[in-house]
Amino acid sequence: MTAYARANTDWLASCAVGISTHWTAQTAPRTGAACRFTKAVERFRMADFLGAVEQSGADYVIFTLTHALQMLPCPNPVVDGILPGRTTERDLVEEMATGLHKLGKKLVVYYNHSCNQGDDPQWEDAVGYHGEDKARFAANLCTIVEWLGKRYGTAMRAWWFDSSYSLDPRGPHSSVTTDLRGFQFPWEKLTVAAKAGHADRLVTYNAGVGYTFLYTEHQDYWAGELNDLKTPPTGRFLENGLQWHGWTCLDYGGWVYKDNSRKPNPPLYSDEDLLAFLSKCRKNQAPMCFNVISFQDGTQAEESIRQLSRIAKSIAR
């Protein structure tokens, strides 16, 4: 096998702070009952979303394309062919990429295969997670990702792939719920698919909170899922050679705001603690991304946006 040449991560290392939103088919409105996903996509207030990103001072955005349910706020004929009714005509990703480019900010796309302990059983069956031919299942995922990569090209600067542990039991923990029959998921093929349309696009595979386990050497930066700010970076790169990158919740700890009977949390950290952590990150060229509560109309938790804005103005660039 040809040795993997990691992509240049200089652009990511130059970023001080990122902002993310887990806007998904399960995201709740601020008040009242949620509307169906296709209607939510139609009503997504992109101008307000981009305005919040600009106000936050973030250098890049991680946008959650799918999560527990394989429902995409954009077209994808591959998904349509596997299970119709899971995509939309309006393309939020394209609109977001265009808007962020005008603001001088980068787009990172989060993808989850949605085969996680029965969260989306209809999709698990359709995509082949439980089928005898696991190669077909892997090919389906690769083709979905490849189509998206070609569609968005250089506008998509990186992928953030989640739930690796539901595809491969070798890591620190396993949530595989299918009989793999000895099948080894082809991570290298997925990386090739992920680079379609932009060879320098960055790729990472999440191994779980705080873990640095590598399912494959064929990735470029650390997923860096964290629960808190207790483990600041000590350098730009991890011992395994990956660019350091962190990602945690700024406010609501559940990532997706699904229950509006619960009042949204204020930011979890003081300005002083946040600035101290991010200052260490900047010293080590180690970007840190914060997930902010997102509501079904695409608007964000204003108190969290204001805090990020204050901190971003104080970080040495």
Residue 229 within any structural domain of the chain:
yes
* 216: amino acid identity, one letter: T
**What distance in Å separates the CA atoms of residue 171 and residue 153, rounded to the nearest whole number?**
31
pTM equals 0.97
User: What is the radius of gyration, based on Cα positions, of the chain?
Assistant: 19
- DSSP secondary structure letter of residue 20: E
- How sure is the predictor about 273, in pLDDT bands with cuts at 50, 70 and 90? very high
- DSSP secondary structure letter of residue 120: S
The proportion of the chain whose per-residue pLDDT surpasses 70, expressed as a percent, equals 99
Residue 4 within any structural domain of the chain:
no
Range of the domain at 169: 10-314
Residue 15 within any structural domain of the chain:
yes
**What distance in Å separates the CA atoms of residue 312 and residue 57, rounded to the nearest whole number?**
5
- How sure is the predictor about 253, in pLDDT bands with cuts at 50, 70 and 90? low
Number of domains in the chain: 1
* Whether 220 contacts 9, CB under 8 Å: yes
Residue 141 within any structural domain of the chain:
yes
**Which of 179, 241, 289, 314 lies closest to 3 in space, CA to CA?**
241
Query: Token pair of 208, please?
Result: 């779980």
The proportion of the chain whose per-residue pLDDT surpasses 90, expressed as a percent, equals 96
Q: Please tell me the predicted confidence (pLDDT) of residue 209.
A: 97
Residue 3 within any structural domain of the chain:
no
pLDDT in tens, 186-245: 999 999 999 999 999 999 999 999 999 999 999 999 999 999 999 999 999 999 999 999
Q: What is the mean pLDDT of the chain?
A: 97
Report whether pLDDT(317) > 80.
Answer: no
Instruction: Tell me, rounded to whole angstroms, the distance of Cα 208 from its chain centroid.
Output: 13
pLDDT in tens, 99-142: 999 999 999 999 999 999 999 999 999 999 999 999 999 999 99
Mean pLDDT of all residues in 72-77: 98
Residue 2 within any structural domain of the chain:
no
The burial class, CB within 10 Å (0-12 / 13-18 / 19+), for 190 is buried
Sheet holding 17-21, edge to edge: 158-161, 106-111, 60-64, 17-21, 288-291, 246-249
Report whether pLDDT(316) > 90.
Answer: no
**Which of 288, 278, 284, 273 lies closest to 223 in space, CA to CA?**
288
Catalogue the E-assigned strands of 225-265. 246-249
The enclosing domain of 82 has a CATH number of 3.20.20.80
Residue 113 within any structural domain of the chain:
yes
Query: Token pair of 21, please?
Result: 């939103």
Residue with tokens 């009503």: 43
Mean pLDDT of all residues in 12-35: 97
Q: How far is CA 104 from CA 54, 92, 98, 286, in A?
A: 10, 18, 10, 19
Q: Please tell me the predicted confidence (pLDDT) of residue 262.
A: 85
Residue 1 within any structural domain of the chain:
no
Q: Please tell me the predicted confidence (pLDDT) of residue 263.
A: 85
